[in-house]
């Protein structure tokens, strides 16, 4: 059990009143960008799949959030003057919902406002020293919040008003511990606290290999340490009902350790609800997205709501969860019709196209064209779902050559895990070099062919609930076998006591519901901790040396190395057949909960996690490479 993380930043009043997310534990504060850009080639996918006489899968824009290592500067007007024990400057708890901000100059040079409120044009006269705008934390629930709640109600097939009311009381105004449009960090991480996080030398490495790797990293470091670091990239794909903020605990935690994490919000009908802003003038929007070919019979069509009451054309539209026709519950293990392969396959193809678009945007930012991204960004003031700040305040020149896009990691949960598998099989996405699957949905993964096999390192971190789903387990095991047959690394692991939502923010915000309904046993924060630490250990092995120069600051608890082997796995939490994949089974549940009520430290949600309840290991390993093979791979990678 590692030592606890350094002292956390102070909690604001809203964090005490509503459900809150824990602060990140890495050496960096975390910044947050929100970007929506028109697709380079707008197009439909599987045009025969329609709803209400329109293409159901249509790529108009790409939307994603960027979690990144930030630099918080001390400013008596914007921040508290005290630091935490980790050396971070602690931003004051400012609310970006407040509209009564003092007039002060923004970070960017395109347009500035002096204290008197007059705008200045670009040029030397506009470059005089300015005061920084106070940073604001990011809302967890995407805007417009009430409409997003209704989208979740529709996704769950429950009445919308109770859901909206409950979320309003519990988490509608919950904030991420990340700061919008913060400055990209230009410092190297302090490794002094690495042991505090449990960082140790990898047992996979021999003394000779370790010496060579350190010499390689140190040699590069001596040449470049005076330059700002270049951060590795992770692209995250959400599961069904997900969004760009639903996995903020994992994305932000990775960013706090020096990774740039691009969290996609897919527009393929897999999210609960998302909003698309159209680009162009009104006259160009009248026919955008319409398909006048034969579709549904007239008696099944719904009236189109493209005209506003004032006669204008709507500049945005929403996309709700797309239920498969005649097979709405294709996610259920007990569904006799199985997965709607046609729809899910088309959605994955669209997701891969969105990922390509996001990677292209990263390339623009990395090449010094961030001002172009800001100009074309559709998430700006007065657009639906947007912050009034947009991308104001970003110093784009500081992003030039600061992102290492040569070896990108793909990561995804559930359906996002299936997307990750297909990305690892794709020759088109050659810049993706390794993948991390979080409780992947195996049956939705397209079947492999001899031409399309996983040939890159892969790590699967599953839940115990999905481990008991035999079909899903076999699918993921086959993916790991593909990677092994291709001569690369693969791990297949399980977090005992976890259920499918244990790797989402829902588990942290609603732990009691997770325990009561899904019979989750692992502490939710511990599940996130184990997920992120396993991922960092995997990346430490698979990333090239140029991307692991500050990996000494990453925690390395040997979770993959010390995981219990499959032969030693014993679980008495297998559910009845009708609850497979949905929840676990807790023997003597009533007596356990009663003891938990009488003595708080014996509750199911013990801070030490599931291991403290049964004495079992915190990670189960079903498949893993031999230590010699890992060592050989690392030598080749150098």
Among 304-318, 361-375, 390-404, 490-504, whose mean pLDDT is lowest?
304-318
Decide if 304 contacts 51 (C-beta within 8 A): no
Residue 97: pLDDT band (50, 70, 90) is: very low
pLDDT of residue 73: 67
Decide if 91 contacts 104 (C-beta within 8 A): no
Q: Within its chain, how far is the Cα of 227 from the centroid?
A: 28
Let me know whether 156 and 189 are in one domain. Answer: yes
Give the mean model confidence (pLDDT) for residues 206-222.
52
Does residue 502 lie within any of the structural domains?
Answer: yes
pLDDT of residue 241: 98
Let me know whether 127 and 146 are in one domain. Answer: no
pLDDT(16) > 90: no
Rounded-to-integer distance, Cα 23 and Cα 119, Å: 37
pLDDT of residue 593: 78
Task: Choose the catalytic residue: 238, 468, 500, 622.
Answer: 500
Distances (CA, A) of 542 to 48, 263, 436, 480, 537: 41, 21, 11, 15, 9
Q: Which helix (H) or strand (E) holds 560?
A: helix 559-562
Q: What is the mean pLDDT of the chain?
A: 81
Residue 191: pLDDT band (50, 70, 90) is: low
Let me know whether 108 and 188 are in one domain. Answer: no
What digits encode the pLDDT tens for the residues 280-305? 654 444 444 444 343 444 444 455 45
Query: What angle separates helix 627-637 from helix 207-224, to the nearest 10 degrees?
Result: 30
Let me know whether 210 and 122 are in one domain. Answer: no
What is the CATH number for 276? 3.40.50.1820
Task: State both tokens at 603.
Answer: 């509750």
Let me know whether 232 and 339 are in one domain. Answer: yes
pLDDT(557) > 70: yes
Give the mean model confidence (pLDDT) for residues 588-610.
61
Let me know whether 482 and 613 are in one domain. Answer: yes
Is 500 a residue of the active site?
A: yes
One-character DSSP codes across 179-193: EETPEEP-SPPPGGG
Q: Longest C-alpha distance within the chain, in Å? A: 74
Q: How many CA atoms lie within 13 A of 185 on its CB side?
A: 28
Does residue 367 lie within any of the structural domains?
Answer: yes
Does residue 471 lie within any of the structural domains?
Answer: yes
Does residue 39 lie within any of the structural domains?
Answer: no
Tell the residue number behind the tokens 């923004």, with chain if given.
106
Is 310 a residue of the active site?
A: no
Give the mean model confidence (pLDDT) for residues 528-550.
94
| Number of domains making up the chain | 2
pLDDT(225) > 90: no
Which residues are paired to 62 by β-bridges?
37
3-state secondary structure of 132: coil
3-state secondary structure of 563: coil
Does residue 405 lie within any of the structural domains?
Answer: yes
Let me know whether 108 and 186 are in one domain. Answer: no
pLDDT(240) > 80: yes
- Beta strands 403-413 and 231-237 are parallel
pLDDT of residue 312: 57
Highest average pLDDT, of 8-17, 68-77, 204-213, 569-578, comes from: 569-578
Phi and psi torsions of 178, nearest 5° = -135, 155
Does residue 447 lie within any of the structural domains?
Answer: yes
Closest CA to 231 of 68, 393, 104: 68
Let me know whether 131 and 240 are in one domain. Answer: no
Rounded-to-integer distance, Cα 356 and Cα 432, Å: 10
Let me know whether 418 and 561 are in one domain. Answer: yes
pLDDT of residue 615: 42
pLDDT of residue 135: 87
What digits encode the pLDDT tens for the residues 123-146? 333 334 344 567 899 999 999 999
Residue numbers of the domain that contains 124 = 102-135
Task: State both tokens at 305.
Answer: 């709501």
pLDDT of residue 604: 43
What digits encode the pLDDT tens for the residues 31-61? 999 999 999 999 999 999 999 889 999 999 9
Rounded-to-integer distance, Cα 191 and Cα 193, Å: 5
Let me know whether 398 and 457 are in one domain. Answer: yes
Tell the residue number behind the tokens 């995250």, with chain if given.
236
Let me know whether 391 and 282 are in one domain. Answer: yes
Is 75 a residue of the active site?
A: no
Decide if 420 contacts 437 (C-beta within 8 A): yes
What digits encode the pLDDT tens for the residues 1-11? 344 343 344 56
* Residue of higher predicted confidence among 452 and 121: 452
Tell the residue number behind the tokens 């949960």, with chain if given.
413
DSSP 388: T
Does residue 45 lie within any of the structural domains?
Answer: no
Q: Within its chain, how far is the Cα of 566 from the centroid?
A: 29
Give the mean model confidence (pLDDT) for residues 101-129.
38
Residue 104: pLDDT band (50, 70, 90) is: very low
Does residue 166 lie within any of the structural domains?
Answer: yes
Residue 218: pLDDT band (50, 70, 90) is: low
pLDDT of residue 192: 46
Give the mean model confidence (pLDDT) for residues 441-459.
89
One-character DSSP codes across 417-480: HHHHHHHHH-STTTTEEEEEEES--GGGSPPP-SSS---S-EEEEEEHHHHT-HHHHHHHHHHH
Rounded-to-integer distance, Cα 233 and Cα 135, Å: 24
Decide if 536 contacts 557 (C-beta within 8 A): no
pLDDT of residue 609: 46
Let me know whether 121 and 219 are in one domain. Answer: no
What digits encode the pLDDT tens for the residues 500-523? 999 999 999 999 999 999 999 999
Residues 6+ apart with CB under 8 A from 488: 455, 456, 457, 458, 633
pLDDT above 90 covers a percentage of the chain that reads 63
pLDDT of residue 571: 78
Task: Choose the catalytic residue: 270, 387, 414, 490.
Answer: 414
pLDDT(257) > 70: yes
Decide if 435 contacts 424 (C-beta within 8 A): yes
Task: Choose the catalytic residue: 404, 439, 556, 564.
Answer: 439
pLDDT of residue 344: 98
Residues 6+ apart with CB under 8 A from 487: none
Residue 617: pLDDT band (50, 70, 90) is: confident
- Beta strands 490-495 and 432-438 are unpaired
- Secondary structure of 230-283 as H, E, C letters: CEEEEEEECCCCCCCCCCHHHHHHHHCCCCEEEEEECCCCCCCEEEEECCCCHH
């Amino acid at each position: 059990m590692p030592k606890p993380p350094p002292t956390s930043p102070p909690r604001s009043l809203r964090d005490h009143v509503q459900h809150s997310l824990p602060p990140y534990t890495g050496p960096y504060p975390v910044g947050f960008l929100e970007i929506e850009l028109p697709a380079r080639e707008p197009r439909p996918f599987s045009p025969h799949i329609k709803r209400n006489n329109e293409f159901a899968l249509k790529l108009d824009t790409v939307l994603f959030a960027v979690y990144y290592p930030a630099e918080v500067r001390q400013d008596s007007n914007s921040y508290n003057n005290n630091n935490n024990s980790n050396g971070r400057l602690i931003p004051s708890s400012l609310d970006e919902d407040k509209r009564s901000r003092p007039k002060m100059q923004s970070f960017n040079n395109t347009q500035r406002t002096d204290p008197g409120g007059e705008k200045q044009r670009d040029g030397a006269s506009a470059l005089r020293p300015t005061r920084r705008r106070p940073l604001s934390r990011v809302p967890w629930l995407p805007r417009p919040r009430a409409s997003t709640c209704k989208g979740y109600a529709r996704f769950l097939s429950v009445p919308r008003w109770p859901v909206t009311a409950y979320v309003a009381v519990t988490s509608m105004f919950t904030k991420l511990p990340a700061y919008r449009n913060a400055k990209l960090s230009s410092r190297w991480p302090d490794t002094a606290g690495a042991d505090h996080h449990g960082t140790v030398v990898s047992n996979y490495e021999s003394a000779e290999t370790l010496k060579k790797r350190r010499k390689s990293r140190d040699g590069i470091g001596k040449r470049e340490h005076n330059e700002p670091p270049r951060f590795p990239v992770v692209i995250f794909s959400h599961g069904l009902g997900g969004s760009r903020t639903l996995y903020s605990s994992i994305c932000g935690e990775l960013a706090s350790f020096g990774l740039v994490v691009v969290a996609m919000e897919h527009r393929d009908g897999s999210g609960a609800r998302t909003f698309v802003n159209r680009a162009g003038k009104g006259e160009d929007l009248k026919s955008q997205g319409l398909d006048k070919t034969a579709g549904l019979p007239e008696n099944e069509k719904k009236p189109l709501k493209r005209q506003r009451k004032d006669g204008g054309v709507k500049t945005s539209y929403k996309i709700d969860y797309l239920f498969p026709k005649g097979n709405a519950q294709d996610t259920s293990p007990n569904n006799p019709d199985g997965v709607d392969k046609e729809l899910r396959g088309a959605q994955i193809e669209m997701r891969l196209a969105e990922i390509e678009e996001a990677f292209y945007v990263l390339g623009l930012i990395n090449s010094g064209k961030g001002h172009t991204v800001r100009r074309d960004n559709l998430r700006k003031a007065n657009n639906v779902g947007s912050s009034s700040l947009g991308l104001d305040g970003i110093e784009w020149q500081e992003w030039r050559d600061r992102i290492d896009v040569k070896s990108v990691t793909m990561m995804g949960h559930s359906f996002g895990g299936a997307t990750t598998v297909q990305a690892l099989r794709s020759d088109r996405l050659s810049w993706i070099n390794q993948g991390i699957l979080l409780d992947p949905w195996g049956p939705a993964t397209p079947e492999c062919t001899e031409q399309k096999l996983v040939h890159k390192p892969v790590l699967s971190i599953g839940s115990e609930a999905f481990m008991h789903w035999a079909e899903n387990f076999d699918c993921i095991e086959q993916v790991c076998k593909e990677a092994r047959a291709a001569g690369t690394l693969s791990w297949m692991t399980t977090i005992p006591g976890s259920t499918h939502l244990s790797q989402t923010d829902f588990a942290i915000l609603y732990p009691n519901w997770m325990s009561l309904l899904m019979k989750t046993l692992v502490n939710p924060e511990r599940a996130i901790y184990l997920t992120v630490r396993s991922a960092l250990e995997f990346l430490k092995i698979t990333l090239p040396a140029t991307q692991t120069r500050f990996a000494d600051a990453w925690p390395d608890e040997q979770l993959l190395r010390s995981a219990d082997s499959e032969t030693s796995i014993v679980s008495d939490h297998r559910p009845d057949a009708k609850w497979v994949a949905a929840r676990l089974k807790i023997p003597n549940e009533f007596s356990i909960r009663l003891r938990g009520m009488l003595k708080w430290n014996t509750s199911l949600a013990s801070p030490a996690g599931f291991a403290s309840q049964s004495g079992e290991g915190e990670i189960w390993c079903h498949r893993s490479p031999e230590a010699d093979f890992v060592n050989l791979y690392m030598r080749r990678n150098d």
